[in-house]
Amino acid sequence: MNHLVGNLKSSLEETKERLNLLNAHGVEAVNILYPGLNYSGLLFYKLLESLPKEIERLEKRIREIEIIQTMDSR
């Protein structure tokens, strides 16, 4: 389970970095994140909409696993 939590925390950090990059650089961040990808502004707005939800989902899953680990260690 520790390995799973570590992977989830890495994914969480990477997702936060992508969101920060989008917020800081706007539509141009899509070129940085996905070089060579033909995109439209729609992708930018979809990412702005979906990444915060993904962050919440990852944070919730990490908390759930950490609670289970705490209960198992008792």
Q: Identify residue 48 by its one-letter amino acid code.
A: L
The pLDDT value recorded for residue 38 is 78
Q: Identify residue 53 by its one-letter amino acid code.
A: K
* pLDDT bracket for residue 46 (50, 70, 90): very high
Q: DSSP assignment, residue 73? A: T
* pLDDT bracket for residue 34 (50, 70, 90): confident
Query: Is the model's pTM score more than 0.85?
Result: yes
**Residue 38: helix, strand or coil by DSSP?**
coil
Total domains present in the chain: 1
* Residue ranges making up the domain that contains 66: 2-72
Which residues touch 19 (CB under 8 Å, ≥6 apart)? 47, 48, 51, 52, 55
The pLDDT value recorded for residue 19 is 98
Segment 3-32, tens digit of pLDDT: 999 999 999 999 999 999 999 999 999 988
Q: How far apart are CA 15 and CA 52, in angstroms?
A: 9
Structure-token match 């990490």, residue found:
62
The pLDDT value recorded for residue 73 is 81
